[in-house]
Structure 1
Amino acid sequence: MAEKELLENIEKALGEIRPYLLTDGGDISFVSVEDDIVNVKFHGACTGCTVNQMTLKNGVEATIKKYAPQIKKVVEVK
């Protein structure tokens, strides 16, 4: 998959999960992708949320992998 297509797929995935985060007063943004690891940043209510790591793995990572199966994992950057 070309890098441009990969970045588009990551943004599509974040676009799918974003409405759920916005409902809870949070948001997420793409930071970078390196060695098939996606770096994201939480905003708003998501930064202090006690379940944001579960959201990261079960929601964000799963959705990104659906669009870009070659991604190994998604990590949060502060």
Structure 2
Amino acid sequence: MIPFSDEELLEPVQASIDVIRPMIEADGGGIELVEIKNGVIYVRLSGHCVGCAASNTTLKMGVERQIRNDIHPELVVENITNQK
């Protein structure tokens, strides 16, 4: 169980995304925090990340790992373009 409300997560999640953002931008990509709902963090990858075969690795091994290390190990990050 995640001991934070969605509202409490906004600022720390944004700070974690800001840490990883330069690495994503260095490869021509971009990332935007869209919303946090029921402890799930929804982001939008953009630029070269759209359609890139490595974008899921960037999302899970980069963004999600950073957020889990910084905030809580049970947090999940989803790219909204991957949702149906």
TM over 0.5: yes
Query: Which residue in the other structure is 1:77 paired with?
Result: 80
Match of 2:45 among 42, 46, 53: 42
Q: CA deviation at 1:65?
A: 1.3
- Post-superposition Cα deviations, 1:8-52, rounded to whole Å, max 9, x if no partner, equal 110111001100011111110001111111100001001121100
Runs (4+) of structure 1 moved beyond 2 Å?
1-5
Cα RMSD over matched residues? 1.6
Match of 1:10 among 8, 13, 33: 13
Would the aligned equivalents of 2:21 and 2:30 in 1 still touch at CA under 8 Å? yes
Give the TM-score taking structure 1 as reference length.
0.88
Would the aligned equivalents of 2:40 and 2:78 in 1 still touch at CA under 8 Å? yes
Query: Which residue in the other structure is 1:27 paired with?
Result: 30
Would the aligned equivalents of 2:16 and 2:70 in 1 still touch at CA under 8 Å? yes
Structure 2 regions of 5+ residues with no counterpart? none
Matching residue's letter, 1:30 = L
Give the TM-score taking structure 2 as reference length.
0.82
Structure 1 regions of 5+ residues with no counterpart? none
**Percentage of pairs with the same residue:** 32
Q: Distance in 2 between matches of 1:13 and 1:66?
A: 9
Question: 1:53 aligned to 2:65?
Answer: no
